[in-house]
Amino acid sequence: MAYLGPRGTFSEEALSRLFPAGEVEPQPCRSIADAVFEAAEGRADAAFVPIENSLEGSVNLTLDLLVHEVDLSIQGEVLLPVRQHLAARPGTALAQVRRVYSHPHALPQCRRLLRELAGVEVQTSASTAEAARRVATEEGAAAICNALAVEIYHLAVLRPDVQDSPNNVTRFVLLGRGQPDPTGRDKTSVVFTLREDRPGALCDALAEFARRQINLSKLETRPTKAGYGSYLFFADLEGHRSELRVAEALAAVRRRCSFWKELGSYPRAFLASEERTRCAPPSGG
């Protein structure tokens, strides 16, 4: 199972919620792209990567890889409540911090803290755990990371829960091959470009879901990379593509599109307070 490493990332924490210890072999990677290509090129059975944060929105790299680079589908998802902590080497006082490291998606989740630390240099790292590993040997530095990284790299928490919102949640997806069986509580993800650029074209396409009582839980755009003003639509909808009404809606929308890709049908995740997310181990191939 390839994931964004090193040890102690939020990816590792979320992965442990999907698979109990010993059920899969974790394979930490240096970047999200490395993890995805490990699975796409057969060196790992699957990849586990972040795709969306409730404060900062989608992880665009993950979306772009799914559309443009690899032929993998979403097999499952995890919703992880994210608690960020400011941590440093033991004995470091907050007033001694001159540099703060963290992942580019984590830093904007903690804007209030960074405004308070006036004059402190802010630097990005490949992951929150990489930031923690770095400051473990660097004086005058602190990392924004999770409690797992604090424990692994023997840091001390200078200030806990530094995220701007207590409702900070990151969505992670399991990427592999094949299609999970329907569970009755599923989600389907698709990406498409409409053939016609006219008033009401998107509304007409989305009406195919509405008239079949299919709820859309997410809709957003990304550039197609084919030129300015050309966009892809990403949509998440409730239901499995093997269900008749979902299959009919997908087929109807597809007929309106110049580009269409189904990113997967998979069990819908619940927050830990609702129900533990479970997923079948990847079988490879």
> Rounded to two decimals, what is the model's pTM?
0.86
Reply yes or no on whether 124 is catalytic: no
- Domains, the chain, ranges and CATH? 2-81+168-176 (3.40.190.10), 85-159 (3.40.190.10), 186-267 (3.30.70.260)
Reply yes or no on whether the pLDDT at 279 is more than 90.
no
Pairing label, strands 47-53, 57-58? antiparallel
Per-residue pLDDT tens for 153-212? Answer: 999 999 999 999 888 899 999 999 988 999 999 999 999 999 988 899 999 999 999 999
| CA separation for the pair 206, 192 (Å, rounded) | 12
Which candidate in 10, 19, 172, 234 is catalytic? 172
Render pLDDT for 83-140 as a digit per residue (tens, 0 to 9): 999 999 999 999 999 999 999 989 999 999 999 998 899 999 999 999 999 999 999 9
Q: Does residue 166 have a cis bond before it (omega within 30 degrees)?
A: no
List 170, 188, 193, 277, catalytic entry? 170
Confidence band of 282 (pLDDT split at 50, 70, 90): low
What CA–CA distance (Å, rounded) separates 184 from 191?
A: 22
Q: What is the distance between the alpha carbons of residues 35 and 160, in angstroms, rounded to a whole number?
A: 29
Is residue 234 part of the annotated active site? The answer reads no
